[in-house]
A and B are shown apart, each in its own frame.
Chain A
Amino acid sequence: MTVTDKDQSTTGSATGAPASGSRLHLLTRRDSVLRMSEVEAASKQEGDRLEGENDQTMLMNMGPVHPSTHGVLRLMLELDGETVVRSKPVIGYLHTGMEKTGEDLTYVQGCTNVTRMDYASPLFNELVFSMAVEELLGIEVPARATWIRMLMCELNRISSHLLSMATNGMDLGAVSMMIYGWREREQVLRFFQKVTGLRMNHNYIRPGGVAADLPDGWQADVVELMEMLPPRLDEYDVLMTGQPIWQERLQGVGVISAEEAIALSATGPVLRSTGVDWDLRRDQPYLAYDQVEFDVVVGSCGDAFDRYAIRLNEMRESIRIIHQILDKMPAGDYRTQDPKVTPPPRARLDESMEALIHHFKIFTEGFKVPPGEVYTAVESARGELGCYIVSDGGPKPYRMHIRGPSFVNLQTMPHMMANGFLADAVAVIASVDPVLGEVDR
């Protein structure tokens, strides 16, 4: 289902939007979100009855140290027996001040900072930051660098979805899925270590291209990965997708409608599970996604099962994309030769004084970016990952803001959890797949 303006309204005016201009009526329950401050909640004893029209409810706290909250997420739940009436996600337990730190680091160093936000798929953060800087600089990245970036990002999408499915399985009781997911992820991380030197937080995609070329024999490694994965993904279908227990636990749980998801600015698998056909790789293509063929996986029910199935099938689509990249990878430079941005090759450093000074200046002072502001967005494993940079002409960003998809997708959680059981709350968190690093930054 593609989005048309007509789908937006329920009070049906001709132009499609309600006359009052408000979309609050679309939210499942207007009061799904518990609006209570943490101080107030702490002052109540655990298990106290809350005042209100329904004096049967009780306030419970879940997290921040909890095996199923995908990191340090705290949920304040108002429970009526086992049913979650209202909830409030409390975040900030991983706030690292990365946007402030980003103003203190040069553009060369910026990727080391940004990559630690969404630590499950670090290459996407580096990609969006590099794309924003390149847009401000007005430079073009060589074709080979673009295709290398695409290869690494699709592999990262696979490893991130494997992590998501592994933890999803473990949270719901399929503990062996944790071991299987990590087994496959290790293979992908091993390839990353070969190419970038690190298993995680690679600092590989930098403004101007990538840090180093792919090593010799990379095609054989990727082919081996691509041959190993599809039978394993079929194993997951046997282990989970077709199993009645899995289906009972996830189907009909955490349902959200398309209008609600759009109103809440959800993106990624959360939005696509409701049937909205929006994927930045196809709809606003970046890198070389317009030169490869792939399908966008869209669900229909907006429940947790759809989100799980979307992630599983997105991995299959990524495998398809990677096969095409293997065929089409061009030869050439792995980074732009623009001397303003790129340091000279290391072999020249002991031959030429100019090369040494150039290298020194780039790595100590950094390169200057002309004044301006830009917003770039990519489709990360969790949704639309955006980067807004304001530059003042110096070597460091004046303001760097990253729009984390998990941060915005978290807003859908209270609406998904309303009127569900406490056990379903765990399924909902797992299906939204938040990574608290990019939620809190």
Chain B
Amino acid sequence: MSDDHEPPQAEAPVESSDGETTELEYGCVVSWSGSQKTIHVPRDRWLEVGTELLADGWQMCVDVTSVDYSAYEPERDLPSSVTPERYEVVASFVSMTRRERIRARAQVPADDPSIDSLYAPYPGTDFLEREVYDLMGITFNGHPDLSRIVLPEHWQGHPLRKDFAIGSIPVQFKGAGTRSDS
């Protein structure tokens, strides 16, 4: 089987009830951000889609990150079949044979911030998932050692959430008028 360089066969578009067609890949809705392809993965299929991606030639998972949309004012630009939740986990994959990239986004609800870990198909997500847990508080089921990585182990709270203040201290600038030319 040497069709390494051909793109995966796109599945037949699905016609939804109001007549618009949705592109599907790996059973997930596809959307485009400029020229960058994104698939929206339901949370319970995260590991399954990850395994399918590995089997389909996406050799490397380069990045796993998360976003907290609780303070997002404009309308979320998501396909109609995807329910927006507070958190999103975003994973980027690279296929070195096809020289392409793809992004997978999963919605994670605020009351149960957990999702499956991609450690088994992509061991390189070890540190990346720990950082997401540390800074955003999303737990990854199946991760071998989910502990804080950049913050001290006893730290309370998850700084990248929008309800965690940046923690700046007010600064008074003293002696600001002492330059020789003023």
The CB with the most chain B CB atoms within 10 A, among A8, A21, A374, A441, is that of A21
> What chain A residues lie within 8 Å of B97 (beta carbons)?
2-5
CB–CB B77/A371 < 8 A: yes
With both chains docked as a complex, state the minimum distance between the C-beta of B8 and any C-beta of chain A, in angstroms: 12
CB–CB A265/B61 < 8 A: yes
Tell me, yes or no, whether B28 is within 8 Å of chain A by CB: no
With both chains docked as a complex, state the minimum distance between the C-beta of B100 and any C-beta of chain A, in angstroms: 9
CB–CB B122/A23 < 8 A: yes
In the assembled complex, 29 residue pairs joining A and B whose CB atoms fall closer than 8 Å, in A order, are A2-B96, A16-B57, A22-B120, A23-B120, A23-B122, A23-B123, A24-B119, A33-B144, A91-B150, A92-B150, A95-B151, A263-B124, A264-B123, A264-B126, A265-B128, A267-B62, A373-B67, A374-B33, A374-B36, A375-B36, A375-B101, A384-B62, A388-B92, A392-B73, A401-B65, A403-B63, A407-B127, A411-B127, A441-B150
B residues in contact (CB < 8 Å) with A: 1, 4, 33-34, 36, 50-51, 54-55, 57, 59-63, 65, 67-68, 71-74, 77, 90, 92, 96-97, 99, 101, 103, 119-128, 131, 135, 144-145, 147-154, 159-160, 166-167
Tell me, yes or no, whether A213 is within 8 Å of chain B by CB: no
Tell me, yes or no, whether A45 is within 8 Å of chain B by CB: no
> A262–B124 Cα gap in the complex (Å)?
8
Give 8 new A-B contacts, CB below 8 A, not counting A17-B55, A104-B166: A3-B96, A23-B122, A39-B154, A263-B122, A263-B123, A265-B61, A283-B99, A392-B73
Query: Interface size class for chain A?
Result: 35 or more
With both chains docked as a complex, state the minimum distance between the C-beta of B155 and any C-beta of chain A, in angstroms: 9
Residue interface mask A241-278, B partner, CB < 8 A = 1: 00000000000000000000011111100000000101
CB–CB B99/A284 < 8 A: yes
> What chain A residues lie within 8 Å of B1 (beta carbons)?
14-15
Tell me, yes or no, whether A330 is within 8 Å of chain B by CB: no
Contact residue among B51, B62, B145 (Cβ-Cβ distance under 8 Å from A386): B62
CB–CB A16/B55 < 8 A: yes
Tell me, yes or no, whether A80 is within 8 Å of chain B by CB: no
> What chain A residues lie within 8 Å of B60 (beta carbons)?
262, 265, 267
With both chains docked as a complex, state the minimum distance between the C-beta of A101 and any C-beta of chain B, in angstroms: 7
CB–CB A278/B96 < 8 A: yes
Residue of A nearest to B168 (CB): A104
Residue of B nearest to A14 (CB): B1
- Contacts known (A372-B77, A393-B74, A403-B63); A15 close to B55, Cβ less than 8 A: yes
With both chains docked as a complex, state the minimum distance between the C-beta of B73 and any C-beta of chain A, in angstroms: 6
CB–CB B55/A27 < 8 A: no
CB–CB B135/A386 < 8 A: no
CB–CB B4/A21 < 8 A: no
Tell me, yes or no, whether A315 is within 8 Å of chain B by CB: no
> A8–B135 Cα gap in the complex (Å)?
32
With both chains docked as a complex, state the minimum distance between the C-beta of B103 and any C-beta of chain A, in angstroms: 6
CB–CB A398/B123 < 8 A: no
Contact residue among B4, B33, B124 (Cβ-Cβ distance under 8 Å from A411): B124
With both chains docked as a complex, state the minimum distance between the C-beta of B113 and any C-beta of chain A, in angstroms: 16
> A22–B50 Cα gap in the complex (Å)?
10
With both chains docked as a complex, state the minimum distance between the C-beta of A166 and any C-beta of chain B, in angstroms: 27
CB–CB A92/B72 < 8 A: no
> A441–B116 Cα gap in the complex (Å)?
25
> A266–B68 Cα gap in the complex (Å)?
27
> A103–B167 Cα gap in the complex (Å)?
13
